[in-house]
Structure 1
C-alpha cells in the first residue's frame, strides 16, 4: 500500500491518497487516470519528489519511480521553489551590514545598520525568488510604438489598458472606438 501526498498547488486535487501499487510510477499513473488535469499540472510544474524519506534527483528519478516500493511507502510531491536568481549581491551586502551592526553595538548607529541590513537581505531574497516580467515597449498597433504622450497621433492597440484619471486633468484623448457610417 503506497501513500501519495500532495503539497502546494497540487492540494487542489487532494492531500493524501492510498493506492495498492508496486512502483511510484504505477501509483501516479493510477491517479492520472482518476483525477482529471493532474497529469498536465504535474507536467507543467517543477516538483521535488521524495520516496520513503529519500529525495530523488533527476538521475535517480528515472530508476526510483520504477523500483519496487516497500509496504508502507510514502511518496511526497512538493513544488520546487524557483526564482529569477538576481539579488545575490544585495543579500550578501545586507548580511554584512547586519554583522557590522552587531559588532558595533556600542555606537548609536548599530541598530540602524542592523535594520538596514535586514531590509536589504529581505529585498535580495525576494528578488531572487520572484521572476520579473518582461516589458514589451511596442504595442500591437501596426508595429508603431505607443504614442500616448509623445505625438498628436494618440492611438492605442486593442486590449491595452485604458488609464483612469481622478480629479481635474488636462489630457489628450484616447480613441476607444471609431466607426464609419454611410447612408
Structure 2
C-alpha cells in the first residue's frame, strides 16, 4: 500500500535514493533495515520542490490530504542542569502539546521548541525536512498514538527536496520510538 497515498508524486524505495535523504537518515534506514526487512520494501521517498517542503504548501501543491502528513518538531527542557531533548511526531492536523504532555514526558518544568539553528545543526538535517529517522541518539523520539492509526504517513527526509512515506505502524516500531497517547492537541 505504501506509495498509494499520493499519486501526484513519484515514489521509490528510500534505500535506493540516498541522494534524496540526509546522510543521517540514510544511515539510520540502513541500520533499521538490517533488523527489519520491511524497511527496504515499505519506506519510500519522493522528490519535491524544496520551496514546497512546509506541510500546508506541500499538501496544496501535490493534493496530499493533511491527515496523512506528520510533522516532526524538536522540543527541549532542563531539569537539574541537564538538558532533555525530544523529537515529537504528530499529524499535521494536530499540534504537539508542548506545555503539558511533552513537558511531563521530559520531566522538566518548562519545555520549548529547540531553536531552529540548533535543531538543524544538531540533527544534521535541513530546516523543514527534519525527520524522526536518523536523529541524534540521546534525543527521545515521541510519536503521537494517532500517527500509526493514519495508515501510510508522510514525514520529512532530512532534506527539503524530498519526503518519506511509510506505514505509520512501521514508524511506531522504529528502534527508539515511544508511542504516546495524547501527545498532540486537536
State TM-score, norm by structure 2: 0.20
Q: Which has the larger radius of gyration?
A: 1
Bigger strand share: 2
Structure with greater contact order relative to length (CA < 8 Å, sep ≥ 6): 2
